Amino acid sequence: MTRIPCIDVLTPEQVERIDKEVMRILTEVGCDFEYEPALEVFRNAGVRVEGQRVFLTEDFIRARIAETPSEFTLAARNPQKSTPCHNGSFILTPSYGPPFVYEIDGTCRITSSEDYNNVVKLAYMSENINHTGHNVVEMQDYPDEIRHLKMIESHIKYSDQPFMGATHGEVCAQDTVDMCKIVYGLDDDGIKKTPILNSLINSITPLKYDERMLGSMMVYAKYGQSNMVSSLVMSGSTGPISMVETLALQLAETIAGLCLCQIINPGTPVILGSTSGPADMATMALSIGNAEVGLYTAATAQMGRFYDVPTRGGGGLNDSIAPDAQAGYEAMMTLLSPALAGTAFILHAAGIMHYYNAFSYEKFIIDDEIAGLCNKFIAGYNFDEDRFLFDDVEEVGPGGHFLYQDSTLDFSMDHRRPLISNRGTIEAWEAAGKRTAAQVAKERYEKQLAEYERPEFDAGVEKELNDFITKRCNDLIGESPALYE
């Protein structure tokens, strides 16, 4: 696919100024790593460590950035769905982490494994979502100790697209790697050469990483798996009020994590992530459905091009409690921004609600529609010579129409057809029950789930995976009822 050129929201001089501020933060303020194995890695690399504070030099930082791949491919269980990841690849995933479902009637309920599996299935069936992500909603009907096993199992069994790894600590990350080795038929050496996972590692703003994130990061780096190192700075709360300093702080945190990955395994893939947004000064709550988030995401993508490292942003973000007009226009703002800016990887592209608090099935379908619009826009024009239809223009001439030209039928698929948008007459809309976009979306997701067919999966591999999960569940929580018949 040819892609429109990426937009810049910073001048070259502004990019240089942000970079200078990033280097100053990391060299003069430093970053805390609350995990002794990580501190030991830094010490062994000759980095100055004072307590839990790590101070990096500019030369050291730039050498680690240079070691980071600008492009890699995320291997899918179905090789035809493996996904190149680079600036401009625009990989789309569903929601991540919401503990509630907001129903169309306004009720709120906690999420379950059924919801989790449903989201993976909907992502698998989407024409636009090409990666199932990870913690699409919280599986609150499984104990914390084994939840990661059931989450990864869902991605493997209900889809054959790429997916993300668990980041609840060293044990969960190792279990994820071991499950991938079973499914992909790889040994330790093989998996180190095969990026399968890109796992979300979040800093704690300002300038800190905890044991859980670092334990996960170090396992994935060891095995050559991608770490999506992300920072969520709340401007005016957990971070400075000014947007330029928020951007610099966010980049400093993520680049510090990148450096650790490269020390552990030079050349391991890393994605620099932006989830920053302003704290609403009236409520002090995080706001994510706004132009500021769009600017943070776009500027991060531009800085990623400067560093030649892939970047991540959010899409479909909003502060709305219902799948209404607010949810729609805020989601379009926050998904179109990374699309135009050339962001590599998009979390929350479908289904997220109310500043990360909830998932909405109707919103998933609405976001799928928005994603289709964005994909069509960034694909730009088809400049093949056969699309220049001078002969048709000459034949039809002034005042005619092109309905009966052969090219009209031949190239009609060049124009995207909507999933749920209404293009009919008001009479047709009234006859169909005057349904809103949310009501049409509800009908669509229910139909998709009813028609879902699970992708093929080798029976022997599935049994080996089931046995592994059962054993690990028993290891972690003791003897438990059989998970499989």
Say which CATH number the domain at 245 has. 3.20.20.480
Four-residue CA torsion sign, 128, 130, 134, 140: positive
Residue 274, domain member (yes or no) = yes
Residue 40, domain member (yes or no) = no
158: pLDDT strictly greater than 80? yes
Residue 21, domain member (yes or no) = no
Structure token pair of residue 28: 């003069």
Strand order in the sheet with 91-94: 91-94, 345-350, 311-314, 270-274, 226-231, 198-202
356: pLDDT strictly greater than 90? yes
Task: Give CA–CA dist 319/325, Å, rounded.
Answer: 11
Nearest Cα to Cα of residue 126 among 371, 328, 443: 371
Structure token pair of residue 471: 């054993």
For residue range 6-38, what is the model confidence (pLDDT) as tens digits? Answer: 999 999 999 999 999 999 999 999 999 999 999
For residue range 384-398, what is the model confidence (pLDDT) as tens digits? Answer: 999 999 999 999 999
- The strand pairing partners of 352, in sequence order, are 359
Four-residue CA torsion sign, 276, 277, 278, 282: negative
Please give the tally of structural domains in the chain.
1
Task: Give CA–CA dist 367/332, Å, rounded.
Answer: 8
Find the mean pLDDT for residues 348-352: 98
183 membership: H or E segment, kind and range: helix 170-184
- For residue 144, the one-letter residue type is D
Task: Give CA–CA dist 168/229, Å, rounded.
Answer: 14
SS3 109: strand
Confidence tier at 293 by pLDDT (50, 70, 90):
very high
Residue 469, domain member (yes or no) = no
Residue 39, domain member (yes or no) = no
Between the alpha carbon of residue 325 and those of residues 307, 315, 319, 349, the distances in Å are: 37, 16, 11, 17
Structure token pair of residue 183: 């499914």
Cβ contact 222:265 at 8 Å: yes
pLDDT at 284: 87
Residue 365, domain member (yes or no) = yes
Confidence tier at 481 by pLDDT (50, 70, 90):
low
Structure token pair of residue 319: 């502060």
Find the mean pLDDT for residues 361-389: 97
pLDDT at 2: 73
437: pLDDT strictly greater than 60? yes
Confidence tier at 483 by pLDDT (50, 70, 90):
confident
Between the alpha carbon of residue 233 and those of residues 279, 293, 364, the distances in Å are: 9, 11, 26
Percent of the chain with pLDDT over 70: 99
- For residue 209, the one-letter residue type is Y
482: pLDDT strictly greater than 70? no
Q: Rounded to the nearest 5 degrees, what angle is found at the Cα of 383, between the Cα atoms of 378 and 389?
A: 125
DSSP of 110-176, one letter per residue? E--HHHHHHHHHHHHH-SS-----S-SS--TTS-HHHHHHHHHHHHHHH--S------SSHHHHHHH
pLDDT at 478: 86
Range of the domain at 188: 65-379
81: pLDDT strictly greater than 70? yes
- The strand pairing partners of 160, in sequence order, are none
Residue 116, domain member (yes or no) = yes
Residue 468, domain member (yes or no) = no
Confidence tier at 1 by pLDDT (50, 70, 90):
low
Nearest Cα to Cα of residue 180 among 228, 148, 218: 148
Confidence tier at 480 by pLDDT (50, 70, 90):
low
For residue range 377-387, what is the model confidence (pLDDT) as tens digits? Answer: 999 999 999 99
* Residue showing tokens 């919280």: 138
Question: What does the mean pLDDT of the chain come to?
Answer: 96
